[in-house]
């Protein structure tokens, strides 16, 4: 795609609409590879608010000092979420993404301590259980990207008592995925794996690519689609689990 066309609203809407319409993960990652050089400028034109809103939500609930917290940005793309995290004092940032070219753009920002190529849903996250104080996945929960079946993997790498922040679009073309996502989130909550702290609907998520997607009450000219932010806290280890996992003194003969 030509660099000089980046930032033109009709071109941006066409690209975003095309991205939303690709159901195959491999094809979508290839699309993102080609999109990477123009992605940040396109997101600014699209008035894409999800990174800022998600990080605001996480920051308000975060219980400790931000500068020493270890954060994982899943499907990190070019690093838009990392820029928001750093602005709020989160400095220990790891990122994963399935697009090599998106990772190259993220690496150029210089905000991540560690970046890995990983297609979540096809492979596990490259981290040990209970590694991160918080995990975010912003913008990748939709058809053709991260499947709902991968949500437990986000939970696995989060520390007990840590936070998981997730977002998805709630426009008409993504409602079926949203329903499946919420069923997965609620199933994990019923199982006692985590508890929901926030479920925040957002009207002005990003500009709509079609008049059919516009939030009621806004004009087609500058209409937005809607989205939602979820924030969960992973269950803390029980006393019995802490005892089992802690080193035990040798038995007295």
Pairing mode, if any, of strands 194-207 and 114-117? unpaired
Question: By mean pLDDT, which of 5-9, 83-87, 92-96, 174-178 is the weakest?
Answer: 5-9
Domain ranges of the chain: 9-234
Judged against a pLDDT cut of 60, whether residue 203 lies above it is answered with yes
How many CB atoms lie under 10 A from the CB of residue 236? Answer: 12
pLDDT at 30: 96
Distances (CA, A) of 21 to 16, 28, 158: 9, 9, 31
pLDDT at 3: 41
Question: By mean pLDDT, which of 20-29, 44-53, 174-183 is the weakest?
Answer: 20-29
Q: DSSP of 54-102, one letter per residue?
A: HHHHHHHH--S-STT-EEEEET-TTSHHHHHHHHTT--EEEEEES-HHH
State mean pLDDT over 138-163: 96
State mean pLDDT over 160-169: 98
State mean pLDDT over 50-61: 98
Token readout for 58 is 């996480």
Q: What fold is seen in the domain 9-234?
A: Rossmann fold (3.40.50)
In this prediction the pTM is 0.89
Q: DSSP of 167-188, one letter per residue?
A: EEE-SGGGHHHHHHHHHHHHHH
Give the confidence band of 143 by pLDDT, cuts at 50, 70, 90: confident
pLDDT digits (tens, 9 = 90+) for 205-245: 999 988 777 766 654 456 899 999 999 999 997 643 544 45
């Amino acid at each position: 795609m030509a660099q000089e066309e980046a930032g033109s609203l009709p071109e941006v809407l066409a690209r975003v609409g095309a991205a939303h319409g690709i159901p195959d993960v491999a094809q979508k990652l290839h699309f993102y590879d080609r999109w990477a050089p123009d992605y940040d400028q396109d997101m600014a034109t699209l008035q894409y608010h999800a990174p800022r809103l998600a990080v605001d939500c996480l920051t308000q609930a975060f219980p400790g000092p931000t500068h020493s917290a270890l954060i994982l940005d899943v499907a990190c793309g070019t690093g838009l979420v990392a820029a928001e995290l750093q602005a709020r004092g989160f400095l220990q940032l790891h990122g994963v993404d399935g697009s090599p070219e998106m990772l190259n753009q993220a690496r150029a920002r210089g905000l991540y301590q560690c970046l890995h190529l990983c297609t979540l849903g096809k492979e596990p996250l490259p981290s040990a259980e209970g590694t991160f104080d918080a995990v975010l996945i912003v913008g990748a929960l939709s058809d053709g990207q991260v499947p709902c079946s991968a949500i437990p993997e986000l939970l696995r790498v989060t520390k007990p008592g840590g936070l998981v922040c997730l977002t998805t679009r709630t426009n008409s073309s993504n409602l079926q995925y949203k329903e499946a996502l919420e069923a997965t989130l609620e199933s994990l909550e019923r199982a006692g794996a985590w508890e929901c702290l926030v479920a925040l609907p957002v009207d002005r998520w990003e500009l709509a690519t079609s008049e059919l997607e516009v939030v009621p009450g806004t004009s087609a000219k500058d209409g937005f689609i809607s989205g939602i932010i979820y924030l969960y806290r992973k269950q803390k280890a029980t006393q019995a689990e802490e005892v089992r996992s802690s080193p035990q003194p040798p038995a007295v003969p």
